[in-house]
Amino acid sequence: MPIKVLNVAEKPSVAKEVSRILSNGGARSRRGRSQYNPIWEFCYTINGQQCDMVFTSVAGHLMELEFAGQYKRWRGCSPLDLYTAPVVKDVPADKAPLKQNLQELARQCQWLVLWLDCDREGENISFEVINVCQAVNRNMRILRARFSALIPRELQRALQQLVAPNAADAAAVDARQEIDLRIGASFTRFQTLLLQDKFDWAGGGVEAERLILSYGPCQFPTLGIIVQRAWEIQSHIPEPFWYIAVSYRPDPAAAAAANEGQQQQGQPQRKPEQQLHCDFKWARDRLFDQGVATLLYEQCAEEPTATVMQVRGRATYKRAPVPLATLEMCKSASGILRISGERIMKLAEELYQGGWISYPRTETDAYDPGMDLRAIVSEHTGDGRWGAHAAAILAGSMWKPPRPGGHDDKAHPPIHPTRYSAGENDWSHDKRLLYEFVVRHFLASCSKDAVAFETTVTIDIAGEAFRTTGLMITERNWLDVFTWATWGGNAHLPHFVEGQTFLPSELALRQGATQPPPRLAERDLIAAMERYGIGTDATVAEHIQKQLERGYAEKDAALTFWPTNLGESLISSYRRMGLDNLWKPDLRGRIEQGISRIAAGLVTKDTILAQAINAFRTDFQLANTRTQLMLNEVARFFQRRGPGGAAPGGGGGGGGGPGGGGG
């Protein structure tokens, strides 16, 4: 006799696609209690057991963590009370239809199979679904489907290998949510209530109506990185320096003889029309003492003949990329495709839900040895852009096993294409580009390293050493398919032999000046967040986007960030107050490490909660005693107002979610 199985996905689109694949297009749909979450029904066999499958979905988190009772109200308590106030996790009113839908179906089913996204957040949502369903049916058998792509072989395997949900992963998310709620709400209320009616925000270019000065324990360290780079740029004082520039361009007859010499030595030859030239770099690099630099230059100018002291040639390699993980995708694609990290993740999610790429939130950058990579490559041999390269990989002339990157989250493989497409008609331009990026990166990771011949030449002029390097690529290999990659170097280096002498084409003393660091590009911001442990692969792009939405930073057409006066004033205030934990990444990095230890089962949720909350409560108490410093610092950026002004926003929370703050 068939058993009835309730299946729950994280999004309606995933429920629809999984049902279509498992039923071979035969699933029937009907409306349930939630008009946006249809119910799909079909028959399936799980390990020999006939099942009547009922498939529906939620829409992300089913529950919200919120303060209880009076603590929801901004003036219902002191912000300091929020560190110990009771919290409740429940289904909010706007998601009541989802709860009704699940409970109505749960009453009729014997099994519950959880198809939530296979990451920590998905595991937490799984337990929210379990709590709602078990409230009306305590006897349900609870099972977890683990999958990395919406393709038949993955989904069929997942159903035959159902496992238990991971309580440790769910507990890690519970800890993060409570930390972010308590800290975010307390500091959001603190800085909003202190500052909101005391400054002419509109006159300073800030949207002043119901202004909420949101604080998040991930958000502010991210903003801190942006502000700190701006300070480095603003504080830079150009310092002049001097250096000796040497260049050499042989006459055509010498170039022809050099090419012949290279042929005799077995080195790569250049085409006759290629003009040979090189610039030599001074071994001293540069001097900040003009007098000394001038003296050394004059010595060279008096005896300008250059003697070749050393010529060294060697084969060198540019390694193929490691398999693609989420943060590398965001860093690399944002720079190459000129798309924001937030949009990259949105498009990657769409490609995943359509079955075109694997799950896009993963830390893994090493393929399982048993994964059939050649089968994936074979799907791309017919493409007019990268098909020939894919065919060469299959033929063996281009194949090299991908080198592991050293990270494995034990949940998903690296991001890779799961189905070939030449670009669907309804895809946007950016979506096509991102799919192409994933495919080309995958093929590049399965390809041989690029090979070049590198020559380093050292010369002496009047006792001063100069060096130049030439690079001729002999085998492009993976560079041919990952067309955005470059391997720079002088491919037109003249031929030199040790003991040879020549007169430089140019010998000059030049002046330069030190430069400030560049404005912070998105890929560099993501790299810094990764280095400091701010956020996760699933949340980094979101934390960056919050800076823009809350008016704390701006992003220009070149995708570089700059703080607004509002963002800089808040970071500068906490610096002036001596509370570096509130805007530098160190404390948040330690909290993220603790959350990972919860997920690994090494420590309890309560232990990490206590450590994080105690650390921030201490800083909050100090901030409360230093409010005048914050007022004075913000006054450097905004005009003070007279008595009166707008009342604080009130309501149930701050700018970032329940209770205020957010990540």
Residues forming the active site: 359
Instruction: Report the candidate in 18, 12, 119, 252 with the shortest Cα–Cα distance to residue 539.
Output: 119
Spell out the long-range contacts of 598-604 with Cβ–Cβ below 8 A and sequence spacing 24 or more: 598/168, 598/171, 598/172, 598/175, 599/120, 599/168, 599/169, 599/171, 599/172, 600/168, 601/168, 604/171
Identity of the amino acid at 12? P
Query: β-pairing, 64-67 with 49-57?
Result: unpaired
What SS3 state is found at 31? coil
Instruction: Report the candidate in 70, 64, 69 with the shortest Cα–Cα distance to residue 92.
Output: 64
What SS3 state is found at 239? coil
Identity of the amino acid at 41? E
Kindly give, in sequence order, each residue whose CB lies less than 8 Å from that of residue 588, ignoring residues fewer than 6 positions away.
217, 218, 221, 532, 533, 534
Kindly state the tokens that stand for 104: 């109505």
Which residues share a beta bridge with 3? 51
Whether the Cβ atoms of residue 637 and residue 565 lie closer than 8 Å to each other: yes
Q: How far apart are CA 606 and CA 175, in angstroms?
A: 8
> Quick one: DSSP state of residue 641?
P
What SS3 state is found at 85? coil
As a three-state string, the secondary structure of 595-632 is HHHHHCCCCCHHHHHHHHHHHHHHHHHHHHCCHHHHHH
Query: β-pairing, 560-563 with 553-555?
Result: antiparallel
Q: How far apart are CA 532 and CA 544, in angstroms?
A: 14
Whether the Cβ atoms of residue 512 and residue 240 lie closer than 8 Å to each other: yes
Kindly give, in sequence order, each residue whose CB lies less than 8 Å from that of residue 543, ignoring residues fewer than 6 positions away.
216, 218, 219, 222, 529, 534, 535, 663
